[in-house]
Homo-oligomer: A and B are copies of this chain.
Amino acid sequence: MKKYLLTPGPTPVPERVLLASAKPIIHHRTPEYGQALSEGIEGLKYVMQTKNEVFIFTASGTGAMEGCVVNLLSPQDKVLVVNTGAFGRRWVEIIRSFGIEPEVIEYPWGRVAKPKDVEKKLREIPGIRAVFTQSTETSTGVVNDIEAIGNIVAKTEAVLVVDAVSGLGGQELKTDEWNVDVVASGSQKGLMLPPGLAFVSISQKAWKLVENSKLPKYYWNFKAYKKSLDENRETPYTAAVSLIMGMQESLRMIKEEGLEHILRRHAILASATRAGVEAMGLELFAEAPCNVVTAVKVPEGIDGQRLVKMMREEYGVGIAGGQREYKGKIFRIAHLGYMDRFDVIIGLSALEIALSKLGYKIEVGKGVAAAEKEFLK
């Protein structure tokens, strides 16, 4: 059976990138590798819209998140987490693991963070060192208003740390213009790469925290990464060379298409997906839906876990279910990275067929038609 990957990470990897990654391995202490690494970092700055320093880690995206926590903070620091879902909760869990009890503004899943709440909390609790949140919250399909939050945090002594693991390269994120001090991201989403690389960009304001941070660290030590990069265009430890070579290629593709075009493409795919599911009579889960993944409520009487399984096993179409307490209650279709209009059509078509089979009353073709109309606009 032919297979289609429509999950919010890993996302499909273009043939050009797969082949670049499959080239014979090179050594990580050579000029050739230094060139690929430098090109990768320059490309990431382009996608992140930043002039800040960028580091590349061999890790899952969660590794970049942990790196931010242990490099920015010291015991007894006051920090704030703006938590809108599973990945907001991950910030809380990581910070707690390192002995710091964060202040948390927690929203019910599906809701968007309110910048006013952040403003209020920062006023109420003086001396907050860092604010942690998500650009796109992959678990709920919400996009937070990072520009507004950035403006608020910039007026304080705190730094703003944004998890853009799923958002980067699909959802607008003007790192410098929006005053985002630290961005954490990963390779397997908008960057069209396999999982295994994680990225961090860091402002000068945030670097001051790094210089004074007292939490224990070794593998994630930003200072070691900076030294290695400045002195030798290297990483301190043997990096995932094949993924770095693939990244060189994927970033070339991104530059060829152009970031503006890429972001517009994601916006169009997202609105077509939303139109499609709504035409099927389904309800969106996210209060402020993002452009990289659409979360949809499972309709009454349908088994959501069975739906996702059926789409994968009977039709070869991989979408994601809900996480944690939303298992079986929502499903999530990605339009992220190396995807285009007919990936959306595939997803909607498979969804119509599977829902029908499960007994959901639906006039098949209506979802697909609604998406096509969006494309015709």
A residues contacting B by CB (< 8 A) are: 3, 5, 7, 9-13, 18-19, 21-30, 58-63, 66, 93-94, 97-99, 186, 188, 194-196, 215-219, 221, 236-243, 312, 318, 320
Contact = CB atoms under 8 A, between A and B. Distances in A.
A11 B227 CA distance: 26
Given A5-B25, A243-B240, A312-B30, A216 B10 contact: no
Contacts of A60: 58, 219, 237-240
Contact of A5 (B18, B26, B58, B320): B26
Contact of A27 (B218, B237, B318): B318
B24 A22 contact: no
Nearest to A98: B216
Given A22-B18, A217-B97, A241 B194 contact: yes
Contacts of A29: 320
B25 A61 contact: no
A15 to B, nearest CB: 9
A242 B194 contact: yes
A168 to B, nearest CB: 14
Given A27-B10, A242-B194, A97 B218 contact: yes
> Which label, helix, strand, loop or mixed, suits the secondary structure of the A interface?
loop
B62 A219 contact: yes
Contacts of A30: 312, 318
A196 B240 CA distance: 4
Contact of A216 (B9, B59, B97, B236): B97
A214 to B, nearest CB: 10
Contact of A218 (B19, B28, B98, B221): B98
A240 B238 contact: no
Interface centre among A12, A27, A28 (most CB of B within 10 A): A27
A199 to B, nearest CB: 14
Interface centre among A59, A61, A66, A312 (most CB of B within 10 A): A59
A238 B61 contact: yes
A28 B11 CA distance: 11
Given A21-B21, A97-B217, 10 more contacts: A3-B24, A5-B24, A9-B238, A19-B22, A58-B58, A62-B236, A66-B219, A97-B216, A195-B242, A216-B216
A87 to B, nearest CB: 11
11 contacts: A10-B25, A10-B26, A10-B241, A13-B242, A30-B312, A60-B219, A93-B218, A97-B218, A194-B240, A196-B243, A240-B243
Contacts of A98: 216, 218
B27 A195 contact: no
Contacts of A12: 24-25
A312 B27 CA distance: 11
